[in-house]
Amino acid sequence: MNPSYLSLHYSGELERRAQRLEERLAACDICPRACGVNRLEDQPGGFCHSGKLPIVASFCDHYGEELALSGRHGSGTIFFGNCNLRCLFCQNHQISQDWRHQKQNQLSCRQLAEYMLSLQEMGCHNINLVSPSHFVPQVVRALTLAVPLGLRLPLVYNSNGYDSLETLRELYGIVDIYLPDLKYADEKTARRLSQSKGDYVATARSAIKEMWRQAGKLVLDEESVAVKGLIVRHLILPHNLAGTGESLIWLAEKVSKDVTLSLMSQYHPCHRALEVPQLSRKLTREEHAAALKAMREAGLKEGWVQGLGAAEQYLPDFARQGHPFAVNS
């Protein structure tokens, strides 16, 4: 299956979308914060402190994703610098929240295109864009440069879920696989733990609905590697701070019970987590069991469940196992 962006490139639509997105950088509304700053300037400010150039902290063939993404040859992961949230417990806070240091990782869109092509040459199954929400114009511009040079891998949009609907609609037919977080079920908690504007839950839920409309049910190839579809990640937090039951019921009832879920239990206190006493420990077995019960009661049918102590290790995908969920116990 060829990635969907190829036809957009041949029709000229990919270039038109790149231009529309780049124009929005002059008064930026690319993510839901809509800071309105001119990111074409050298020192743009704004919440993400990111300008015209993309910022890439690192790129690699990554084997720690869900197996349907990592497969046998790795997911071609590009880690963008900075973020439009400030999660107190972020495991990648050096990349996402130290914008002064990340400024040295600025590169051109042509270099970003070359990274994509390098990952393809390494044999990766996809191009996995991690934290891309504030760099969508740069990603699409890089695509216009990479496709004529032979890029043919599906794109994975791996975000925190805090995504603009207007921006997502520009990605229709460009992104093949959506991989958003669904972090919270309560706006006050989202504001407290991730410094959202008090709109994370509503925004992420609207974004996931749009992602489902665009990509739909997960499709795997003959090697059980994803080529299209939606995977929703949910990180279980101590003391039910993530509102796991409510989030999973919403996902099943308002999106679909056919959505592929990745239920994650790898939480451990890091960064500024100790500022919140409820975040000062790992999950208990009882909390993990409660999340599994919530998943079953919601009626979600497909995906992966992380077992306690399996920080970034997923069992073989559900399709190959012959049952709905692969569970690492």
Beta bridge partners of 100: none
Position 158 scores a pLDDT of 98
Q: How confident is the model at residue 309 (pLDDT cuts 50, 70, 90)?
A: low
Position 41 scores a pLDDT of 83
Using the structure block, give the residue that is written with the tokens 């001119």.
Answer: 38
The full length of the chain comes to: 329
Please report, for the domain that includes residue 315, its CATH number.
3.20.20.70
CB 191 within 8 A of CB 205: no
Nearest to 303 by CA among 217, 208, 222: 217
Position 149 scores a pLDDT of 98
pLDDT in tens, 203-251: 999 999 999 999 999 999 999 999 999 999 999 999 999 999 999 999 9
Q: pLDDT above 70 covers what percent of the chain?
A: 93
Residue type for position 3: P
Nearest to 180 by CA among 232, 236, 226: 232
- pTM (two decimals): 0.94
Q: How confident is the model at residue 162 (pLDDT cuts 50, 70, 90)?
A: very high
Burial of 163 (0-12, 13-18, 19+ CB in 10 A): buried
Position 313 scores a pLDDT of 36
Position 105 scores a pLDDT of 96
pLDDT in tens, 90-116: 999 999 999 999 999 999 999 999 999
User: Range with the lowest mean pLDDT among 267-271, 278-282, 316-320?
Assistant: 316-320
Q: What are phi and psi of 230, to 5 degrees?
A: -115, 130
Q: What are phi and psi of 171, to 5 degrees?
A: -90, 0
Position 314 scores a pLDDT of 34
**Separation between Cα atoms, residue 159 and residue 117, nearest integer Å:** 21
The DSSP call for residue 255 is I
Supply the range of the domain harboring residue 62: 5-327
Q: How many CB atoms lie within 10 A of CB 323?
A: 9
Q: How many domains are there within the chain? A: 1
Rounded to 10 deg, the angle between the 13-23 and 136-146 helix axes is: 150
Q: How confident is the model at residue 168 (pLDDT cuts 50, 70, 90)?
A: very high
